[in-house]
């Protein structure tokens, strides 16, 4: 029986947007500036304090490098690389440095993928049939439950950091999602959990922060960006560079083989994560 960790730290962020329709109700998925996929990921990081220190040191080193003098993203008022690392905004030279730091740290990344053309079809159909709209929070919370439900019984205490979304913290709502994920897993594995944990009840603490405050959120941002390049552009090299960090990827809308989606894990299925073999992303 695997021993419980005293504590574990997860960092959760998203990539892409959940814009499906314009003000007139027309689907705009695939139009310029609108992503075709939405992904949510969680990164377990063994030593988040060490990662925080290493990324802070890297940022200070780059800020002091004359090579980047005058670069707009290095200016504090731009609130980009001068404050924190964000893959979409960082220069290619910066990304390479961050990737090297991430490769040196032990982490496991779990990701769930939604294809927005399929989400748009579902949202339009449900509204036509019931008058009920699909909300961003509904999609987001469902993905949080999907990626976390198998990971909340691995430690005595789980610390889960969420990247802030908008102005509202939604701490209570996210606590409910985590409780639902835990209950779902417990219902299917009650006997095994009882044998493993006895009367102990694992604890969970939820935090909300900006990526500039927590390095773990910068790490999951980079991992999601690397995967999004595969999905949106068919570009494999960033994903390949970080491949050892991905523990599981769930392509929810690829139901060609099973209704629950296509699962890729670190136990030999990575050959299927290929821009030429995955279900094509369409507008």
Q: Are strands 262-265 and 155-163 parallel, antiparallel or unpaired?
A: unpaired
The CA distance from 121 to 128, in Å, is 11
* pLDDT for 134: 92
pLDDT tens for 35-57 read 899 999 999 999 999 999 999 99
Give CATH for domain 5-272.
Answer: 3.30.420.10
What predicted TM-score, i.e. pTM, was given to this entire model? 0.91
* pLDDT for 123: 94
pLDDT tens for 108-126 read 999 999 999 999 999 999 9
The average pLDDT across 214-227 equals 97
The average pLDDT across 67-92 equals 93
221-21-136-154 Cα dihedral, nearest 10 degrees: -50
The average pLDDT across 238-261 equals 92
The CA distance from 51 to 67, in Å, is 24
List the beta strands (DSSP E) in the chain. 5-15, 37-45, 107-115, 155-163, 203-209, 246-251, 262-265
């Amino acid at each position: 029986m695997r021993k419980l960790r005293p504590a574990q730290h997860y960092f959760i962020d998203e990539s892409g947007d959940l814009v499906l329709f314009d003000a007139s109700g027309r689907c705009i998925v695939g139009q310029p500036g609108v992503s075709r996929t939405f992904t949510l990921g969680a990164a377990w990081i063994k030593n988040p304090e060490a990662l925080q220190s290493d990324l802070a040191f890297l940022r200070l080193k780059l800020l002091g490098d004359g090579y980047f003098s005058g670069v707009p993203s290095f200016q504090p008022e731009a609130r980009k690389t001068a404050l924190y690392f964000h893959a979409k905004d960082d220069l290619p030279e910066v990304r390479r440095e961050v990737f090297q730091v991430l490769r040196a740290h032990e982490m496991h990344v779990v990701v769930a993928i939604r294809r927005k053309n399929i989400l748009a079809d579902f949202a339009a159909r449900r509204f036509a049939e019931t008058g009920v709209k699909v909300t961003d929070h509904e999609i987001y919370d469902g993905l949080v439950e999907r990626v976390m439900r198998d990971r909340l019984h691995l430690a005595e205490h789980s610390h889960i950091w969420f990247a802030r979304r908008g102005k509202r913290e939604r701490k209570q709502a996210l606590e409910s999602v985590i409780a639902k994920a835990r209950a779902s897993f417990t219902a299917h594995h009650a006997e095994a959990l009882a044998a493993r944990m006895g009367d102990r009840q694992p604890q969970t603490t939820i935090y909300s922060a900006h990526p500039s405050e927590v390095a773990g959120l910068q790490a999951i941002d980079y991992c999601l960006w690397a995967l999004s390049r595969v999905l949106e552009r068919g570009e494999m090299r960033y994903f390949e560079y970080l491949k050892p960090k991905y523990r599981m990827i769930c392509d929810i809308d690829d139901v060609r083989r099973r209704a629950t989606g296509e699962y890729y894990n670190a136990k030999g299925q990575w050959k299927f994560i290929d821009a030429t073999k995955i279900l094509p992303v369409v507008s």
